[in-house]
Amino acid sequence: MKNDLDFDLSDIQTMNETQTGLLAALADMVDEVLDPIDGKEWLNKGEQAMLVASTLRNQQAIKALLRCLKSTTKDQADKLEATYQKYVEGAE
């Protein structure tokens, strides 16, 4: 039973690593979008257009990352609940 618990918990830990990677990718993408305006008070028209184009280009990727985070968080919560029921409530 201990080996089964170890396997179930390692599966949940793998999802933590997946979420960490997704969050890092999201942070990199947001930094890429915001970097051109960091420390600037006003942007000229060309810089504004470049920022809008960059944001639109990354919009779908950001949405996809957020959907993946939502999905893995839900899956992880479901697996954690199932593990809890199996090993804690089932042991009572």
- Cα distances (Å, whole numbers) of residue 86 to 6, 11, 17, 72: 13, 15, 23, 21
Residue 45 pLDDT greater than 70, yes or no: yes
How many structural domains does the chain have? Answer: 1
**Distance between CA 24 and CA 18 in Å, rounded?**
10
Summarised one tens digit per residue, pLDDT across range 20-30 is: 999 999 899 88
Range of the domain at 76: 1-91
Whether pLDDT at 1 is above 80: no
Q: What is the pLDDT of residue 92?
A: 67
Least confident of 47-51, 69-73, 84-88: 47-51
